[in-house]
């Protein structure tokens, strides 16, 4: 007897569901295997496939057509999410948040970076989607066409399954997965937050709910004491303040010599006289990367973990470095950047931050364009005409961009002679871009001197974030060889902080642990200014004997760097992935010994987040 159309459709639907579930498992396995899940990736892949199968089964009891539509839709969305998540994770070491959607247009500005990050397994997440789309376009409930996927489905269903049997098998498989999860050694229920469905649902709920809470913050904990007793207090009083935030400058290039060539000869000379060099300084950023580095520096505050401060809290009331300097007689605060003004919402955010003008790519003659924006040299040179017109003292804040990933500066600007094996590598390109950035800074300082501005200025230079990930064996091997050491996650976070005060008589290297939020209180001490206007989460690195750096990007909230310990808490919160290292020799330590310090680091970041959400950073 010929099977009825309804039975034929049911059997075909069950076979299709089975194929989708199998494909989803293998895609999930591929995705999770590239995320540090302490060996749980087979189980996470099973959980993702089981959740999808369970949803199909429940819907199928109501409507076979609805179940099919939801199954295809979920499979397509998950495939796209896995591809996006995998690319994002390979660069940031965390999953993306929908909170970043308002700034998604910025991806066009870093297209070269994204293309460099793409790997074959990213494309494997999407490769079959056109076939499914073709099938969906041709699908007719009364006539099931025999395309490639239909033939595979027909092979899978050697017998016609009744609905009851299909449901029983489906529920049994889901139950087995749950039992497996319960029995899997070391797996805990809270780890489910890393599963794709669970992560994105939780992220969505977190973003859309009200950001305020009942958390009460004691602002007296973050009130700076007067630094008037410090021997450094006021040694740069009434000087022009010039701050250079250098794109992707890591500390390992300082003093490094490659095949007899200094990577940063100008910065090396600068450190040798009238300079404070902080060699154990670490970047502190949030979801806004570069823009959050400048936010932390100018306000001594932690940026939001998953969003850009300039986007989320654009119109908050601020009283950071630009305002404080103008309170003490500075003519104004002026920002310079050699990329488009809208990137990271700077053109809107800067006036609220206290900057009186913003010179960006649109305001500069585009006479020496790099892959991303105008060259640093051209920006520095053109800005000099403006600096000469500012009443002294003034505050000039620069954000460079020439050394942006993937570091492919024009051939005419490459002066380091690379070994053949380093040509074309990310490492080799990075050395070239850092050498160029150093030469640009050297020329800028010469121009300041020629303009008569150098002697009456204090010049602060720091890197905004890391450049080369240590998760890439090629990078790690080459950097370790350059520095005659190793290249750990500890080194990845390490960026330089240099404060040059011409003629001050101090030439010191400070090794206390510090980060971006410590720049403002440190500079205020040198300038002889006490801050009684706003909270500061940082400390004066010139006077503090111990340091403590709270981290939240590329590692999870609760991670920290102290003078003795580097404590890493992963985003996935899987205990087996917790790491603690001795700063003295990078030997591993028991992470359980540092739970209290981890909680303290988390408290500080959550306190800052609450004050930002409440727009309450000003002191009474």
Radius of gyration of the chain (CA): 28
Statement: residue 75 has pLDDT above 90? no
Q: Which residue has the higher pLDDT, 280 or 64?
A: 280
Dihedral sign of CA atoms 92, 41, 488, 407 in order: negative
List of residues 6+ apart from 320 with CB closer than 8 A: 298, 299, 300, 301, 353, 354, 520, 534
The pLDDT mean for the chain works out to: 88
Which class does domain 223-544 fall in? alpha beta
Q: Which residue has the higher pLDDT, 205 or 109?
A: 205
pLDDT at site 105: 65
Q: pLDDT > 90: what percent of the chain?
A: 58
**Cβ-contact 293, 524 below 8 angstroms:** no
Q: Can you point out the beta strands (E) in 224-348?
A: 240-246, 257-258, 261-262, 275-278, 281-282, 333-337
pLDDT at site 411: 97
Tens of pLDDT, residues 94-105: 788 887 777 776
Q: In the chain, what are the domain boundaries?
A: 5-208, 223-544
Tens of pLDDT, residues 476-525: 899 999 998 889 888 999 999 999 999 999 999 999 999 999 999 999 99
Tens of pLDDT, residues 378-410: 999 999 999 999 999 999 999 999 999 989 999
Residue 393, preceding bond cis, omega within 30 degrees? yes
Dihedral sign of CA atoms 257, 565, 586, 303 in order: negative
| Spatial separation of the C-alpha atoms in residues 580 and 559, rounded to whole Å | 10
| Spatial separation of the C-alpha atoms in residues 497 and 216, rounded to whole Å | 33
Tens of pLDDT, residues 254-275: 999 999 999 999 999 999 999 9
155-169, 430-444, 496-510: which has the minimum mean pLDDT? Answer: 155-169
| Spatial separation of the C-alpha atoms in residues 437 and 156, rounded to whole Å | 60
Confidence at 144, pLDDT banded by 50, 70, 90 = very low
79-93, 329-343, 365-379, 464-478: which has the minimum mean pLDDT? Answer: 79-93
Residue 316, beta-bridge partner list: none
Smallest CA-to-CA distance from 89 within 606, 570, 591 is with: 570
| Spatial separation of the C-alpha atoms in residues 206 and 372, rounded to whole Å | 34
Tens of pLDDT, residues 113-142: 667 777 777 888 888 888 777 666 555 444
172-181, 280-289, 347-356, 408-417: which has the minimum mean pLDDT? Answer: 172-181
**Cβ-contact 407, 467 below 8 angstroms:** yes
pLDDT at site 265: 98
DSSP per-residue letters across 2-65: PPPHHHHHHHHHHHHHHHHHHHHHHHHHHHHTTS--TT-HHHHHHHHHHHHHHHHHHHHTT-HH
Confidence at 9, pLDDT banded by 50, 70, 90 = very low
Rounded to whole angstroms, what are the CA distances from 582 to 93, 250, 426, 566?
A: 22, 21, 29, 6
List of residues 6+ apart from 362 with CB closer than 8 A: 340, 341
| Spatial separation of the C-alpha atoms in residues 566 and 255, rounded to whole Å | 24
Residue 559, beta-bridge partner list: 551, 557
DSSP per-residue letters across 72-118: HHHHHHHHHHHHHHHHHHHHHSS---GGGGGGGGGGGGGHHHHHHH-
Statement: residue 571 has pLDDT above 50? yes
Tens of pLDDT, residues 578-591: 999 998 888 999 99
Q: Residue 566: exposed, middle, or buried by beta-carbon count in 10 A (0-12, 13-18, 19+)?
A: buried
Report how far apart the first and last C-alpha atoms of the chain are (Å, whole number): 87
Mean pLDDT of all residues in 324-336? 98
Confidence at 4, pLDDT banded by 50, 70, 90 = very low
Q: How many CB atoms lie within 10 A of CB 539?
A: 21
What is the signed CA dihedral for 85, 87, 92, 98, rounded to 10 degrees? -40
């Amino acid at each position: 007897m010929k099977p009825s159309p309804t039975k034929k459709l049911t059997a075909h639907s069950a076979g299709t569901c089975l194929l989708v579930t199998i494909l989803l498992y293998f895609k999930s396995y591929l995705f999770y295997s590239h995320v540090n899940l302490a060996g749980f990736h087979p189980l996470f892949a099973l959980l993702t496939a089981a959740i999808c199968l369970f949803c199909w089964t429940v819907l199928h009891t109501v409507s076979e057509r609805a179940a099919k539509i939801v199954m295809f839709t979920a499979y397509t969305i998950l495939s796209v999410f896995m591809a996006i998540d995998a690319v994002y994770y390979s660069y940031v070491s965390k999953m993306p948040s929908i909170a970043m959607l308002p700034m998604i247009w910025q991806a066009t500005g870093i297209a070269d970076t994204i293309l460099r990050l793409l790997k074959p397994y990213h494309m494997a997440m999407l490769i079959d989607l056109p076939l499914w789309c073709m099938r969906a376009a041709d699908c007719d409930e009364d006539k099931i066409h025999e395309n490639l996927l239909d033939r595979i489905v027909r092979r899978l269903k050697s017998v016609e399954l009744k609905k009851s049997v299909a449901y029983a098998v489906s529920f049994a498989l889901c139950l087995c997965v749950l039992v497996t999860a319960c029995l899997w050694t070391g797996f805990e229920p809270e780890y489910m937050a890393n599963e794709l469905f669970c992560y994105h649902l939780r992220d969505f709920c977190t973003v859309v709910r009200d950001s305020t809470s009942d958390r009460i913050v004691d602002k007296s904990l973050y009130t700076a004491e007067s630094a008037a007793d410090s021997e450094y207090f006021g040694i740069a009083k009434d000087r022009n303040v010039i701050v250079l935030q250098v794109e992707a400058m890591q500390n390992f290039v300082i003093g490094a010599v490659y095949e007899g060539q200094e990577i940063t000869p100008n910065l090396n000379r600068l450190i040798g006289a009238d300079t404070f060099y902080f060699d154990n300084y670490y970047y502190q950023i949030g979801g806004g990367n570069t823009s959050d580095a400048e936010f932390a520096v100018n306000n001594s505050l932690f940026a939001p973990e998953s969003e850009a401060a300039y986007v989320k809290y654009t119109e908050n009331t601020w009283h950071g470095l630009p305002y404080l300097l103008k309170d003490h007689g500075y003519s104004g605060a002026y920002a310079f950047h050699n990329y488009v003004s809208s990137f990271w919402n700077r053109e809107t955010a800067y006036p609220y931050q206290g900057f009186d003008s913003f010179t960006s790519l649109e305001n500069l003659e585009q006479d020496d364009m790099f892959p991303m924006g105008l060259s640093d040299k051209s920006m520095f040179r053109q800005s000099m005409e403006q600096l000469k017109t500012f009443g002294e003292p003034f505050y000039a804040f620069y954000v460079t961009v020439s050394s942006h990933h993937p570091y492919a500066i024009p051939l005419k600007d490459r002066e380091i002679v690379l070994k053949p094996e380093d040509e074309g590598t990310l490492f080799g390109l990075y050395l070239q871009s850092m050498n160029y950035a150093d030469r640009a800074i050297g020329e800028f300082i010469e121009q300041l001197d020629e303009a008569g501005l150098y002697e009456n200025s204090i010049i602060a230079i720091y890197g905004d974030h890391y450049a080369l990930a240590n998760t890439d064996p090629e990078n790690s091997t080459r950097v370790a060889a350059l520095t005659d050491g190793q290249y750990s996650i500890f080194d990845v976070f390490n960026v330089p902080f240099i404060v040059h005060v011409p003629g001050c008589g101090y030439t010191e290297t400070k090794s206390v642990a510090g980060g971006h939020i410590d720049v403002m209180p440190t500079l205020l001490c040198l300038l002889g200014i006490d801050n009684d206007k706003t909270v500061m989460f940082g400390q004066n690195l010139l006077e503090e004997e111990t340091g403590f750096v709270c981290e939240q990007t590329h590692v999870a909230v609760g991670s920290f760097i102290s003078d003795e310990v580097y404590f890493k808490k992963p985003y996935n919160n899987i205990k087996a992935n917790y790491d603690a290292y001795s700063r003295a020799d990078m030997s591993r330590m028991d992470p359980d010994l540092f739970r209290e310090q981890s909680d303290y680091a988390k408290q500080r970041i959550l306190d800052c987040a609450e004050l930002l959400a409440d727009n309450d950073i000003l002191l009474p």
